[in-house]
Amino acid sequence: MDNRDEVSAFLRSRRARISPEDTGLPVHGRRRVPGLRRGEVAMLAGVSVEYYTRLERGNLKGVSDAVLDALCLALRLDDTERMHLHDLARAAGPQPRQRARAGKGVVRPGVLRIIDGMPGLPAFVKNARLDVLAANALGRALFSPMHEDPSCGANTARFAFLSPAARTFYLDWERVSREAVGVLRVAAGKNPHDRELSNLIGELSTRSDAFRVMWGSQVVHVHNRGVKRFRHPVVGELELDHETLDLSAGDGLGVVVYSAPPASAAEDGLKLLATWAATTTPQPADG
């Protein structure tokens, strides 16, 4: 597989968002397109125009870390974007002849015991493709609209873009969806040979106009912490903090845990959700 198109689109999108005024460069005459010109990026990065043109055409093979770091500074990339560019460069390098087909990932028994040992906090294990591989009872209850929709395949990106229930469930649907797109793009940069990921992106691009537009924006995102607001069909609105704990096994698995501040309305909502979960038998996370 060749990631030249991905590299080219990413660099062009980042060049287009920076104006000469942002960098202190002089502006001469009318500019037909927004953003910096290739020559201006080359000058800021300390490389020739010909060399930068080669890079923006998608050829990152053999590019040194020093040049990549200079590009990151010239294009004003944040930490996530910087990581993504380095991932794209690694993926452009020589690949092993035989590559194991990436699976969904195996959740270790110890991890299952950990999430089940947090009955008062919704928790689930996800992979880089945003498949929910396992969840505790409260985690399944919180995401019951997703688990009740068999077309989602227990995948939060598929739920966000393909399930009508998602736009009601996520009070900040557009932000959540854009973050999901960013997570998938980071995953694609790390492993462009993941066929299941490619199939998921292709499916979402075909079936969702919103996904296709967001994917074209080249957004990248690391899903590690934040606040999400839900409108749960049973307990109503919930505003929950979330943290993603990296399992550090090299397979992209992480534990997502939701919590509420003490004595808050959200904490009361979680207690009500736990009571409801105890009286229902939702479908398992892996379908």
Last residue within a domain, chosen from 61, 92, 123: 92
Average pLDDT, the chain: 88
- Please count the residues of the chain: 287
The domain that holds 85 is classified in CATH as 1.10.260.40
Q: Tell me how many degrees the CA angle 83-123-189 measures, rounded to the nearest 5.
A: 20
| pLDDT band of 167, cuts 50, 70, 90 | very high
| pLDDT band of 193, cuts 50, 70, 90 | confident
Give dist(CA 284, CA 85) in Å, integer.
37
Residue 254 and residue 116 in one domain: yes
Residue 151 and residue 255 in one domain: yes
Residue type, 287: G
Is 99 a domain residue? no
Last residue within a domain, chosen from 92, 118, 148: 92
Report the pLDDT averaged over residues 157-182: 96
Give the pLDDT confidence score for residue 94 in this predicted structure: 67
Residue 78 and residue 131 in one domain: no
Helix (H, G, I), strand (E, B) or coil at 219: coil
Does residue 42 carry a pLDDT above 50?
yes
Give dist(CA 40, CA 35) in Å, integer.
10
Angle between helices 195-207 and 209-216 in degrees, nearest 10: 120
Give dist(CA 151, CA 162) in Å, integer.
8
Contact 89, 68 (CB under 8 A): yes
Report the pLDDT averaged over residues 215-219: 89
Contact 257, 122 (CB under 8 A): yes
pLDDT one-digit tens code per residue, 73-124: 999 999 999 999 998 998 887 664 444 445 567 888 999 999 999 999 999 9
Tokens linked to 100: 């194991």
Residue 241 makes CB contacts below 8 A (sequence gap 6+) with 225, 226, 227, 258, 259, 260, 261
Is 102 a domain residue? no
| pLDDT band of 281, cuts 50, 70, 90 | low
Residue 82 and residue 56 in one domain: yes
27 compared with 273, residue with greater pLDDT: 273
189-223 in b/e form (b: 16+ CB < 10 A) is bbbbbbeebeebbebbeeebebbeebbeebbbbeb
Is 221 a domain residue? yes
Q: From residue 3, how far is each of 90, 205, 214, 217 by CA, in Å?
A: 10, 18, 19, 17
What is the pTM assigned to this prediction?
0.81
The domain that holds 241 is classified in CATH as 3.30.450.180
Q: Tell me how many degrees the CA angle 260-79-35 measures, rounded to the nearest 5.
A: 120
Residue 141 and residue 82 in one domain: no
Residue 114 and residue 18 in one domain: no
Is 191 a domain residue? yes
| pLDDT band of 140, cuts 50, 70, 90 | very high
Q: How many domains does the chain have?
A: 2
Tokens linked to 153: 């395949």
Q: From residue 210, how far is each of 11, 52, 155, 196, 206 by CA, in Å?
A: 22, 32, 17, 21, 10
Is 103 a domain residue? no
Does residue 216 carry a pLDDT above 60?
yes
Question: Tokens 């694609």 map to which residue?
Answer: 188
Residue 139 and residue 218 in one domain: yes
| pLDDT band of 287, cuts 50, 70, 90 | very low
Tokens linked to 49: 């125009």
Residue 164 and residue 198 in one domain: yes
Give the pLDDT confidence score for residue 99 in this predicted structure: 46
Residue 117 and residue 142 in one domain: yes
pLDDT one-digit tens code per residue, 218-258: 888 887 889 999 999 999 999 999 999 988 765 679 999 99
Is 283 a domain residue? no
| Percent above pLDDT 70 for the chain | 92
Residue 124 and residue 186 in one domain: yes
Tokens linked to 73: 């500074």
Does residue 262 carry a pLDDT above 90?
yes
Is 126 a domain residue? yes
Give the pLDDT confidence score for residue 97 in this predicted structure: 42
Is 104 a domain residue? no
Residue 29 and residue 117 in one domain: no
203 compared with 281, residue with greater pLDDT: 203
Give dist(CA 22, CA 39) in Å, integer.
16
Domain that holds residue 80: 4-92
Residue 66 and residue 164 in one domain: no
Last residue within a domain, chosen from 29, 63, 92: 92
